[in-house]
Structure 1
Amino acid sequence: MGRILFVYTSCSKSLTGSGTGWYLPEAAHPYYEADTLREVLAQHHTIDFAAPNGPNPPVDENSVQMFKDDESQQFLKDETVTKKFAESKKLSEVDSSQYDAVFYVGGHGPVIDLASDPVNIKLANEFWRSGKITSAVCHGPAALVGVTDEAGNSVFKGRSATCFTNEEEVQVDGVKIIPFLVEDKIKSLGGKFDKTEPWGVKVCVDGKLITGQNPASAKGVGEAIHAAL
């Protein structure tokens, strides 16, 4: 039986004061991929939620308005999901030894809080250095930029990885609302950056590191996590 930790941002405001948070389909699509398999495979996976500030991390309202697909809308109404959000742990309360994988949900928020949060960096280091699945989608890989192995090498050094691309960031006018471009940061840390066309599906799996490019790639990241487990 696998246990997966979904980590969300607690940031609700961008650098310019516009609303942000975690991005709805980037949680909903992997979750229901997991949920379907959990039912079919007799409770094969357990999913817990966590965020820097704990319960009820803020959703990006723009994503709620943009994504009306069944999974996204069900995620907002699902009583089990609502309970998980209400009971979300603070990152400082998480025991990484209780989990087999960590998954960072995207949204612009992680670039602002998780990327520089020492509690998150310590937690993600524990997952990575224990040889556990370390995964993220879209802006979620920003949460891993401070993660290193025992020798001090970045989790991205020499590994294939992807994230929300610079081109996509320009298209959503997001460059000014975050402290750095995630694509640039991954490259600067020695990552072998890979991508497809803007808004296309791209998932990179390099050992225990699993990353997805954008919202359309979230389900694929979920599938890759299950394959790895």
Structure 2
Amino acid sequence: MSNNKKVLIVLTNVATYGQTNDATGLWLGEATEFIDELFKVGIEVDYTSPNGGYVPIDPRSLNYLDENITSYYKDSDFQERALMHSIPAKEINPDDYSAIYYTGGHGVMWDFPNNPYLQRISEAIYKNGGYITSVCHGIAGLFFLQDDNRKPLIAGKKITGFTTAEEYLSGKVKKVPFMNETLAQQRGANFLKKRAYKPFAIQDGQLITGQNPFSPREVAHLLIQNIK
């Protein structure tokens, strides 16, 4: 695996819970905390989204700003490349990347699972020996990926994501289209979890996944160990 390849950060274009007026979008820290760890060791990133362009931020994630997240939120490069002009997924060349990282926020539950471009990119990176990574609701990007035999890529793999218990605690159970934990198990995955809202990430081969909004740095640390 070449060390000079970038990591592709996947962001949502979905601003509301389905057809409601309840706002969602990217959970900001799940992007900024992850890239912060990568930047510390000189790994570059690009930002993509299913449609490209504007990426809405989940307003609730702005309640969790610390000095670090705020510095990225104010950063003109991050605003420009991630939030305003993310690259359309159909324009991405998978060969440019050593890994793909699916951020969370509830919006991703609508535009990550069945996007053919994201699937093509992820499967190609995996086939090239690269890593598929996610945090929290970003696990939605993994559910329908397939291996060479057209079987679920996550079948038999240890993965984690936002749990059913955490979904109840978030107060959004009636708004979401599915439960991550249930769908992962239906696809044959071995879904692991720790206590609600505690940092937790796990690696199984080329898959690296984190449980919740407190886990992006843990996912990044595992990835860095593999690609540096």
Same fold (TM over 0.5): yes
Match of 1:42 in 2: none
Check if 1:8 corresponds to 2:11.
yes
State which of 46, 49, 52 in structure 2 corresponds to 1:48: 46
Larger fraction in helix = 1
- Local SS of the residue matching 1:152: coil
**Structure 1 length normalisation: TM-score?**
0.93
8 Å CA contact retained: 2:5, 2:96 = no
Return the match for 2:81 from 63, 81, 84: 84
The 2-side partners of 1:129 and 1:187 are apart by: 23
SS in 2 for 1:34: helix
Q: Which residue of 2 aligns with 1:75?
A: 72
Deviation at 1:83, TM superposition (A): 2.7
Q: CA deviation at 1:176?
A: 1.8
| 1:204 and 2:208 are equivalent in the alignment | no
Runs of 4+ in structure 1 over 3 Å off = none
Secondary structure in 2 matching 1:30: helix
Tell me, yes or no, if structure 1 residue 157 matches structure 2 residue 163.
no
Structure 1, unmatched stretches of 5+, are 39-44
Q: How far apart are 1:21 and its partner, in Å?
A: 0.6
Q: Counterpart of 2:35?
A: 31
- For residue 155 of structure 1, report the CA deviation from its aligned partner: 1.7
| Residues 202 and 212, structure 1, Cα contact 8 Å, conserved in 2 | yes
What letter is aligned with 1:9? Answer: T
SS at match of 1:108: coil
**TM-score, normalisation: structure 2:** 0.93
Unaligned runs of 5+ residues in structure 2 are: none
- Larger deviation, residues 146-155 vs 134-143: 146-155
> Partner letter of residue 72 of structure 1?
I
**Residues 50 and 88 in structure 1, CA contact (< 8 A), matched pair in contact too:** yes
Count the aligned residue pairs.
222
% identity of equivalent residues: 29
